[in-house]
Amino acid sequence: MQYKLQKIKNDASFREFYRLYKGKKTSVIVTASKEKFKNLIAYTAVNKFLRGNAIHTPKLISEHFNEGIIEIEDFGNKTLLDNVKKSKNKFIYYKKCIDVILKLQKIKPLRKIKIRRNKYLKLNLYNQSNLHKESDLFFDWYLSGVIGNKKLIKYKKKIRNELNKLYKKIFFNNKFIVHRDFHVSNIMPVKNKLGIIDTQDAIIGNPMYDVASLIDDVRTKVPLQTKKRTFQYYLKNCSIRKEPMHLLQNDFDILSVQRNLKILGIFYRLYKRDKKPQYLKYLPYTWKLIELRMNNKIFKNLRILLLKVINTKMRNKKKFK
């Protein structure tokens, strides 16, 4: 049997991916130079747990955790993003993605997931401290890089206080399995199923988080009408549909803004620290999504404050020194 190893395009993490050809069969080799526990051990454990609950995730073929290597099932080359880009009726695919989220939200959340005998992965609760820790990436990387540390000191406390008020308005408790990076680039058509990848950051959190992650994904521009139809489809079929509409909408908008502020920080960090300037092209659309959700009246103070700090011209920049 002939063996061949071919490198696959990397993502934004510290992992590297290779396709292993074994005759006519293939598998994927994943290596991690840093954060081995999260990128390999946690990933494997969450995949196994989800697969046991009818979510199609890559099956582990072999593991060499000490060497920073695992071998997993090959889901192919194409993500659902390819289908979305080509399709005129993008809602068809977003509807299917919501169906996966609905399946995820029916799973009984466990605080501990078994890794191996007597070893467990603890799933964190997505509390206010975690929300702030993530949105602080906006200050620590994006804002400090764009306006400088002197201005950052002037505005950080004010913006953070407004975010704190918003996070306190979140209605739903942490009672649902949340993928935490659920978007069409992390979903892959595998025969007649949708395969889910990048599960390593799964937590127990708010039901609207994955919905916001899918609908307001900065990498994928879709018509506003598609966003609205997708959100309405979720509300019509979810277990929380009996709750007041404004509370559902508020949670969605808050978590979308929180997530996309975090992404501004992460993508600027990828540019500055990791020398990956290709992520800067997403920043203007990230701001457009933040502005879209801040039309909700609960964001009045934050909207005014952010506009003082980052004007429209600066929000549209794709290149930085």
Q: What is the pLDDT of residues 1-51, one digit of tens each?
A: 677 888 887 666 778 999 999 888 999 999 998 888 988 999 999 999 999
Over 80: is that where the pLDDT of 80 sits? yes
Whole-number Cα distances in Å, 233 to 98, 121, 181, 217, 268: 8, 33, 20, 17, 33
Over 80: is that where the pLDDT of 308 sits? yes
Average pLDDT, stretch 79-99? 95
Residue with tokens 């955790």: 65
**All domains in the chain, ordered by first residue:** 3-73 (3.30.200), 80-315 (3.90.1200.10)
- Point out the least confidently predicted range of 118-127, 183-192, 232-241: 118-127
For the chain, helix (H) and strand (E) counts, in that order, are 13, 11
Alpha carbon distance 258, 277 (integer Å): 23
Residue with tokens 């977003």: 94
pTM: 0.94
